[in-house]
Amino acid sequence: MSYLTSSDLIYQTGDQDVCYYNFLCAHPLGILADFNHVYSNIGYVILGLVFMAQIRCRRKFRNINNQELGIPEHRGLLYSMGLALVMEGLLSGCYHLCPNKMNFQFDSSFMYVIAVLCMIKLYQSRHADVNASAHTTFMLLALLMAI
C-alpha cells in the first residue's frame, strides 16, 4: 500500500491501525504525519555522503604522493559501505512515512547489508591479499534476508 493511499485512509477514517507504530511520539508537519522520525534519518544520509567524499579525497591524496608500494587498495567496499549508509537513511525515512509490518523490511534490510560489509572489511583488513567475491557475498546476504 502506498503512502498516499494509506495517509488518505488515515485522514478520512481516523483508523491509525494502517500505520500502527510511533503515533504516541509523532510530530506532524505538513503532509507528513510522523515528521520527526523521517527527519531523524538525515544524519545517515549526510554521514554516508561525507564518508564517500572522504574516501574520494584519500584516493586523490594517495595518488598525488605516488605511493605504489604493497597491495593496491580496493576502495569499492568502502564506497559500498557509504552507499549502504545513505540507502539506510532513505529507506528508513520511507519506512517511517507509514510504519507497518510490510515495509519494515525497508528499515532493516540495509542494516544487514552494512553489518555484512563491515565484517568483510574487517576480514579484508587482516588479510589484505584476499578479496571477497561480490557475487558470492551478496547471494549469501540475499539468502539471509529471505530467511
pLDDT in tens, 36-81: 778 888 999 999 999 999 999 887 776 656 666 666 677 888 888 8
Say if CB 85 and CB 118 are below 8 A apart.
Answer: no
- SS3 of the chain: CCHHHHHHHHHHHCCCCCCCCCCCCCCCECCECCHHHHHCCHHHHHHHHHHHHHHHHHHHHHHHHCCCCCCCCCCHHHHHHHHHHHHHHHHHHHHHHCCCCCCHHHHHHHHHHHHHHHHHHHHHHHCCCCCCCHHHHHHHHHHHHHC
Please tell me which residue, 111 or 12, carries the higher pLDDT value: 111
What is the pLDDT at residue 53?
A: 95
Q: How confident is the model at residue 31 (pLDDT cuts 50, 70, 90)?
A: confident
pTM over 0.75, yes/no: no
Among 10-14, 72-76, 106-110, whose mean pLDDT is lowest?
10-14
| pLDDT for residue 16 is more than 60 | no
Could you give the percent of the chain with pLDDT greater than 90? Answer: 11
Please tell me which residue, 47 or 17, carries the higher pLDDT value: 47
